A = this chain, B = another copy of it.
């Protein structure tokens, strides 16, 4: 279902938690506190210890490999369908990637200790997060092929669609510069692809403010990876 034109005012839930039995959901929410994440806020850097887990409710974040011998590359976009701090599920407390906030908004936060307690006490939570991990691994291999074979314009269209889903709005903030970092291409490449999309009236943008005008058109331009990744999630966790 395509999001409404305006941000839905209704309170959003995190989809990993919403599907749990009431008891289990209470168990984890009782250990959580609501926080507001600001755009650009950095949640983790490679090599750091993971202090908190986050369950986004109406915000979304990018996980990227930081610029090293290359320019940087997004490996995952997480909204209220996922969580931040997945290594904790496996008992690992060190992250290898940078996480930063793409779209500002509320999330549940709990300490790694609190998360572990909840995980030990709720089999339903553990089972669901295990399924989530499997989806992530498969989405990662999909992203691998996508990044290798598909053109920048298609990959950009895909990113915009995913972002629209996670923003729950057809409007969100992101500059060409940032997109270049996420897609692993030059900023100029983004400008070229984006203006092509704008020329076809699929999107409109202006100084970092992007609006999706024609979602169906974007889907036609995006590679099949868009639908495939979402379908996999729905099939396992939906």
Interface residues of A (CB under 8 A from B): 65, 68-71, 73, 75, 86-87, 90-92, 96-97, 127, 130-131, 133-134, 136-138, 140-145, 147-149, 184, 223-224, 232, 236
Chain B residues, CB < 8 A from A184: 145, 148-149
Contact across chains for A141 and B65 when beta carbons are under 8 A apart = yes
Could you list 9 further interchain pairs (A-B, Cβ under 8 angstroms) beyond the known A137-B137, A145-B184, A148-B148? A65-B145, A68-B145, A87-B137, A90-B133, A92-B134, A92-B236, A133-B133, A136-B137, A144-B144
Contact of A97 among B97, B133, B136, B141 (CB under 8 A): B141
A sample of 23 inter-chain contacts (CB < 8 A) reads A65-B142, A65-B144, A65-B145, A68-B145, A69-B149, A69-B223, A69-B224, A71-B149, A73-B144, A73-B149, A86-B137, A90-B131, A90-B134, A91-B131, A96-B141, A97-B141, A133-B137, A136-B137, A137-B137, A137-B140, A143-B144, A145-B184, A148-B148
Number of copies: 2
Chain B residues, CB < 8 A from A224: 69
CA distance A143 to B142 in the complex (A): 12
**Closest CB in chain B relative to A55 CB, distance in Å:** 19
**Closest CB in chain B relative to A4 CB, distance in Å:** 32
Chain B residue at minimum C-beta to C-beta distance from A72: B145
CA distance A75 to B145 in the complex (A): 9
Chief secondary structure at chain A's binding surface = helix
CA distance A96 to B228 in the complex (A): 12
Chain B residue at minimum C-beta to C-beta distance from A140: B140
Chain B residues, CB < 8 A from A131: 90-92
Chain B residues, CB < 8 A from A130: 90-92
CA distance A137 to B71 in the complex (A): 21
CA distance A140 to B144 in the complex (A): 8
Chain B residues, CB < 8 A from A90: 130-131, 133-134
6 shortest interchain CB distances as A-B pairs: A70-B149, A90-B130, A92-B134, A75-B141, A140-B140, A96-B138
Contact of A127 among B71, B91, B236 (CB under 8 A): B91
Chain B residue at minimum C-beta to C-beta distance from A96: B138
